[in-house]
Structure 1
Amino acid sequence: MNAISWNCRGLGNSRAVRALRDVVKSYDPSIVFLMETLSNKERIEKLRGKLGYDNQWVVDNIGRGGGLALIWKNSVKCTVIGSGNNFIDVSITNANGSEWRMTGFYGFPERARRKASWDLLKQLSGKSDLPWIVMGDFNDMINIEDRKGPHDHPQVLLDGFKQTIESCVLIELDLMGGSFTWEKSRSTRDWVRGRIDRAFASGDWWNLFPLCKLTVHHCVYSDHDPIQLDMYNTEHAKKKFRFRFENVWLREQKFHEEVAAYWKHLKPSHFLPKLLELSSFMNKWGRRFFNKFRQKIIEQKKQVLKYEDCADDDKTGKYFTEKKILDDLMLNEELYWQQRAKSFWLQDGDSNSKYFHVYATSRRKKSQVSRMIVGKKSGSTRRCVRL
């Protein structure tokens, strides 16, 4: 499932509609949240049908400004729970029955009304206990680095918005694809760029979609770029994201060094997505260094045999070096299968990896359901069904 949020600056001309059609065609979002549509329900309904969406919720524009729209496909089980001039609030139910909440938000553009935006966010945060994500054009920034131009964003506004997010207990999603989502006065000395289109989520929502991704896409029409939220529910892809830590990795000094360096390299974010990224790295590291133990041992035995009959000091030294490498490989293989077998009563040096291999395989077979008995509780003949 994925969602697009875009401040389209009006859908009353062909360029805007063409740009929106390109966004939909390129990224095929399940949900689209639009701000400053400058359109009413009838116009959005016609556009929604042409874009291939089944459902809509529209907040009409007021005079020559405003207007919000949320359109979505039938593949998404979506229920609108509230809306206003600055937000559309919906609950979404996953295929497995888990429910969460998404709010499309449009902050007041006037600086004098920023506090009203913050108060609205706080009010929305207390509306429900569902896992929550809020995304849209907040017209606000958190850090000095969120703006690049001739003048810095006022510190009082930075602090106010940051405190609001913290009071709502929300965590920002890292943005990929670029640092900014909005610009003004390009090719002049007053050129300003900023990150005001954002997404924030509660801890419960992170637990549902720990592998989510937020990306900004360049748009030639509007001064705002659309942002795309991709959601991957690990409950539907357990095999894909399965991770096992191997005790044998701890015997390698390179493992400690490379894992520490990778963790330090990760951007500051919520702990869970960082942990998942690190586990993915360790998984790849493990496959690279410890896959195919037998093949490595066979190759190393050949290296030992090269120097077995050598008598000079130099080659004798190489013989003992290669023999030590072979011994370490065999120990690593033993520890690997020892963990697989969930047996820890043998000490290092008790070389019996074949036993561990067989034991681990037998555990897998015991875990399988090979047949089941079908029949009523009394009086009927039972039959065995092989699976």
Structure 2
Amino acid sequence: MDHGLKIANWNVHGINARARRTAIRSLIDTTDASVVCLQETKMELVYSSVVLEMLGSEFDDYVYLPAIGTRGGILLAWKSTVVSISDPEFTAHTLSAKVCTPGGTPWWITVVYGPQTDADKIAFLQELREVRAACPGPWLLCGDFNLIYRDGDKNNSNLNRRMIGRFRRVLNDLALKEIYLNGRRYTWSNGQSPPTLVHLDRFFCTTDWEESHAECHLRCLASVVSDHSPLLLDCSPVPASHRRFRFEEFWLRLDGFHDTVTAAWNSPHQLELEDGG
């Protein structure tokens, strides 16, 4: 278990302005995060001086996926005194690397910044399948997906149900479980009145990653410099009362699932009542 490991994820809408980097630094300083995942950096080249100014001297190592001009871009930065991150892998819309902490089991992290057009989104979903093939074992997937997989992830009925179905199928095929987001239903707003609100920023994980981080806790942070909410994942144990049970559709396809449910359903249960009440 990765005691004390915290991961901050944020679509920052650009790090190419000093005022924005200062605002990012202010927020990151309050999180005690050891790993920072930023999307939409809007920078083709990310220099160490920029990372130093934006995150502080403790974040002494990083890798990045360059923006195309001022479009896109992903940055993964970390404190090497706390965590070791290596073996970076890149696709058009993802950045993956292997994570190791002292005494912990190695696992993969993939940071995504999903595209805007439907054609690119279809290609992006195929990328996720290819990334999984290249990153075996425990896997954590986070970022701005620019996709939703449930009607309730948006506050109006303007939905692309075909794309919702495609995203849901990929999640099921890859056996990914969403980490429950505490404190907020949506992570992006268009800032209009009335606003369109969407849950675009997420953390997913595989079952073996969850088994090693069963009590992790994900929450939103406040932001005034981006239309996306920053997310903070605390991998340390928290009281069990924070856990939420969620049924995952892919369980239905696991070997022995129906036999296990049938056996549990038919097993005898004794209810002990106090004072005969």
TM over 0.5, shorter chain = yes
**Contact in 2 for aligned 1:103/1:134 (Cα 8 Å):** yes
**Contact in 2 for aligned 1:147/1:195 (Cα 8 Å):** yes
Higher mean C-alpha displacement, 102-111 vs 163-172: 102-111
- In structure 2, C-alpha distance between the alignment counterparts of 1:165 and 1:206, rounded to whole Å: 15
Q: CA deviation at 1:49?
A: 1.7
Match of 2:179 among 173, 176, 179: 173
Instruction: With a CA cutoff of 8 Å and minimum separation of 6, indicate the structure with the bigger relative contact order.
Output: 2
Where in structure 1 do 4 or more consecutive aligned residues deviate above 3 Å?
40-43
Please name the residue that 1:140 is paired with. Answer: 147
Match of 1:46 among 49, 64, 75: 49
- In structure 2, C-alpha distance between the alignment counterparts of 1:39 and 1:154, rounded to whole Å: 30
The aligned amino acid for 1:73 is: K
Please name the residue that 2:270 is paired with. Answer: none
Please name the residue that 2:129 is paired with. Answer: 122
Gaps of 5+ in 2: 249-274
Please name the residue that 2:17 is paired with. Answer: 13
- In structure 1, C-alpha distance between the alignment counterparts of 2:244 and 2:85, rounded to whole Å: 34
Distance 1:160 1:42, change over 3 A: closer
**Contact in 2 for aligned 1:173/1:269 (Cα 8 Å):** no
Distance 1:269 1:77, change over 3 A: farther
Match of 1:228 among 215, 227, 232: 232
Q: CA deviation at 1:148?
A: 0.9
- In structure 2, C-alpha distance between the alignment counterparts of 1:231 and 1:64, rounded to whole Å: 33
Distance 1:214 1:269, change over 3 A: farther
Distance 1:197 1:97, change over 3 A: closer
SS in 2 for 1:71: strand
**Contact in 1 for aligned 2:43/2:69 (Cα 8 Å):** no
The aligned amino acid for 1:48 is: V
SS in 2 for 1:3: strand
Q: CA deviation at 1:165?
A: 0.4
SS in 2 for 1:28: coil
- In structure 2, C-alpha distance between the alignment counterparts of 1:169 and 1:192, rounded to whole Å: 30
- In structure 2, C-alpha distance between the alignment counterparts of 1:42 and 1:10, rounded to whole Å: 12
Deviations 1:160-193 (A, max 9, x none): 100110011111111112001101042x24x200
Distance 1:85 1:20, change over 3 A: farther
Does 1:88 find its partner at 2:95?
Answer: yes
TM-score by length of 1: 0.58
**Contact in 1 for aligned 2:190/2:197 (Cα 8 Å):** yes
Q: CA deviation at 1:47?
A: 2.4
**Contact in 1 for aligned 2:89/2:96 (Cα 8 Å):** yes
SS in 1 for 2:69: coil
**Contact in 2 for aligned 1:68/1:85 (Cα 8 Å):** no
Please name the residue that 1:314 is paired with. Answer: none
Q: CA deviation at 1:84?
A: 3.0
Gaps of 5+ in 1: 235-239, 242-261, 271-324, 329-387
Alignment RMSD (CA, Å): 2.4
Please name the residue that 2:113 is paired with. Answer: 106
**The structure with more helix, counted as a fraction of residues:** 1
SS in 1 for 2:30: helix
Distance 1:131 1:192, change over 3 A: same
Percentage of pairs with the same residue: 23
SS in 2 for 1:126: helix
TM-score by length of 2: 0.80
Larger Rg: 1
**Contact in 2 for aligned 1:131/1:205 (Cα 8 Å):** yes
Deviations 1:239-260 (A, max 9, x none): x98xxxxxxxxxxxxxxxxxxx
Does 1:218 find its partner at 2:222?
Answer: yes
